[in-house]
Structure 1
């Protein structure tokens, strides 16, 4: 899934919410030619086993994209305001992601479907400061 120089790279965000399958996510993977799916949940588990980190990693591998579970980018605030469980490590993780994804399309995945109510917006903004790509929130 290589992009040409004419293609646009993004920092995308997506919340799976109550979805029971990967159909919408797969459509976005194809439409935006996603290179990395970065799971920003503190605990990569869900009400449905399908959205567990190990299942997402398998799904991503089948799609030819890289899955990263970055629990330090999770949120312990109980609100949409991002508070990392380990702020120092989170800064380093963001630096590492920035190094890997300079010219790639990245999707930040979390559980909350409505990005207005999710910390992934703040995570995306911090990553944007490092790699200067536009942010697009997918529904």
Structure 2
């Protein structure tokens, strides 16, 4: 499946689990977009439900032959959608590391907020998309 249009094979995907009661949409997206890696961009990989804890997401990824990485440096300290990392230099280093992963295939930035326009992952994805010159697609 293409990411946005016929001219792009690869893209950066974002997904927020919000109040979802199961992993169905998440796993469907992993397959539909040929995701090779899920990058957890939460400051802490905890959630309102244990099913969205980092360890559980990692298990699901492994069951679906997808890598999982938690990058707390790309988490948000602002308490709003505006991305303010806890350590700017570390965040920039991790963005560079991610830019090398993009060459291996599509990856998905995971965070809690269901609506991407209300989540810091939008800023992270846009910065990474600009760095890599590939499109961003926000999944619902």
TM-score band by shorter chain is: over 0.9
Aligned-partner SS, 2:80: coil
Cα distance in 2 between the residues matched to 1:16 and 1:79: 17
The answer as to 2:114 corresponding to 1:113 is yes
Paired residue for 2:55? 54
Paired residue for 2:4? none
Does the 8 Å CA contact 2:34/2:105 hold for their aligned counterparts? no
Paired residue for 1:3? none
Q: Deviations over 1:15-45 (max 9, x none)?
A: 0000111100011111101111000000000
Cα distance in 2 between the residues matched to 1:117 and 1:100: 26
Cα distance in 2 between the residues matched to 1:33 and 1:85: 31
Number of equivalent positions: 134
Q: Deviations over 1:29-76 (max 9, x none)?
A: 111011110000000000110100111111101100110100010000
Cα distance in 2 between the residues matched to 1:132 and 1:50: 34
The answer as to 2:32 corresponding to 1:31 is yes
TM score, norm. by length of structure 2: 0.92
Cα distance in 2 between the residues matched to 1:132 and 1:106: 15
Instruction: Show structure 1 runs of 4+ deviating over 6 A.
Output: none
Q: Which runs of 5+ in 1 are unaligned?
A: 1-5
Q: Which runs of 5+ in 2 are unaligned?
A: 1-6
The answer as to 2:99 corresponding to 1:98 is yes
Cα distance in 1 between the residues matched to 2:48 and 2:122: 22
Task: Tell me how far 1:7 sits from its aligned partner.
Answer: 7.5
Cα distance 1:34–1:28, how it changes in 2: closer, same or farther (>3 A)? same
Aligned-partner SS, 2:35: coil
Aligned residue runs from structure 1 range 1-139, under 5 A: 8-139=9-140
Q: Over aligned residue pairs, what C-alpha RMSD do you find? A: 1.3
Task: Tell me how far 1:94 sits from its aligned partner.
Answer: 0.5
Paired residue for 2:3? none
